[in-house]
Amino acid sequence: MPLPCRTQLVSMSVALAVGCCVVDPASSEAASPGHRGERPGLCAEGSDAERYLVVFPEGLDRRSAEERITEACGTTVAHYHQIGVAVVTAHDPTFDDRLVGGRAVSAQRSRTALDRGGETRLTSTGATLPAPAASSPPAGDLEWNLRQVGADEARRVGTGPEEVVVGVLDSGVDPAHPALTGSVDVFRSAGCLTGRPDRARDAWTPSTSPHGTHVAGIIAATGADGGPAGVAPGVRIASVKVVDDDGYIYPEYAVCGLMWAATNGMDITNNSYLVDPWPLLCAGDPGHRVAGEAVRRAVRFAEDHGVLTVAAVGNDAVDLSAPFRGVEARGGGGARCSALPAEVRGVLTVGSVGPAGVKARASSYGYGVVDVVAPGGDRWQSGVPGGGCVSSTVPGGRDELCGTSMAAPHASGVAALLASHRPDLTPPQLRGLVRGQANPIGCPEAYDLDGDGVPDGVCTGSPYYNSFHGAGLVNALAAVGG
């Protein structure tokens, strides 16, 4: 069963599985809730409180920021004063207009407006890109993706030690799965679905989606359940839940997750999602300046604290390097747009290839956008041995899923292997080495996977760097010195 069409989780299809986990219910020590002063008498009371993401000028002192939130009739939920970003709730629907010296956006309100307006969102579930009619993949080959990046050979050299921690910013990870037991760091795991970290068990374990457990298995599964091991078995996984039960990843969830990773000793974060609720974050969207700036600041803060951010490029099959985009989403008259966090400076941005070793049909692309590619699966390329999707863990077992959601954790696993062998590397150096060790993939001579006579995308660039494949396919064997 696919994820809801609204979701910006960047996988092509997800089979529903039920996960139940028992972990240490540690209490949260999140960002300070901040000042909650008396409200001015002129505050209006709406029926329901709305949540806002607020960006203040960098350098504004925390007390002044809190005073402005209170004066605008808001209540601080979380204040990431290190980057000048706060998460606020307000019953007064004019909070964003009343706020002085800051910018605010409610993703919840934007979602309602988009739903009421009937705007078509670019989907990352594959609903607009169905697989061809007889596309059953060959059975029995569940490790084609691992061989493609040399992970099977890398394991003979050595795996990642427990000192390396990868934060899986996703829908929650099942720590009771036999292939992940002992790999999930319960003390570094947290839920971010209010914009404030919550370390309670129910806050970071799966509820409606197996997506995060699948991603975690690609990185670190041990194979104890009899299935394939991950790219870097032995590394630690922190579950950071940023996907709510409706499948949305609001910008305050992402900011919370990135800040939690930065302040809790993680080395890498895997981000297999695009920020919601906008199709792509385009100029003219209410959240263009606020959400974009907040996520950029959080990524920069994470990098400054030793965290490499790895992100999927998305499954919208669009050229993200085009100067103006969003035409499909807005019925014409495209706007300058960004895919967040994939297009933030400093992020290792990952596209997807299928078993034939070329760009997956659904994978977005772009010269100067995609850093590297990794196996994400593609049923359009399922005519070759091992065709189809990527097998990994889900609560209660295993499943095969497709998408750039699956490609990104391959790159995160390779980065984890590198970090385990080269702990001296800074995030920019680690990103550069993942790119530098990649195996180049040139532009295909023809790219018409559905055979309708129309190219499914236009590849530009050289055999060593191009818009489809960036610097090439990530290389696990090179990461361990093989």
Residues annotated as part of the active site = 170, 211, 405
Close Cβ partners of 89 (under 8 Å, ≥ 6 residues apart): 49, 50, 51, 52, 74, 75, 77
Cβ proximity of 360 and 370 under 8 Å: no
In whole angstroms, give the CA distance from residue 194 to residue 256.
9
Q: Is 49 exposed, middle or buried (0-12, 13-18, 19+ CB in 10 A)?
A: middle
Q: Is the dihedral of CA 158, 257, 119, 333 positive or negative?
A: negative
Cβ proximity of 151 and 160 under 8 Å: no
The CA-CA-CA angle for residues 231, 474, 472, to 5°, reads 160
Hey, what are 152's tokens?
A: 């099977």
Structural element, H or E, at residue 297: helix 288-304
Q: Which of 352, 320, 351, 350 is nearest to 337 (CA)?
A: 320
Q: Is 5 exposed, middle or buried (0-12, 13-18, 19+ CB in 10 A)?
A: middle
Cβ proximity of 386 and 173 under 8 Å: no
Close Cβ partners of 147 (under 8 Å, ≥ 6 residues apart): none
Cβ proximity of 265 and 46 under 8 Å: no
Q: Residue 63 to residues 54, 66, 69, 83, 332: CA-CA distances in angstroms?
A: 15, 5, 10, 14, 45
The single residue listed with the structure tokens 């999140």 is 30
Instruction: Please name the amino acid found at residue 32.
Output: S
Hey, what are 137's tokens?
A: 């993949």
Q: Which of 195, 398, 191 is nearest to 298 (CA)?
A: 195
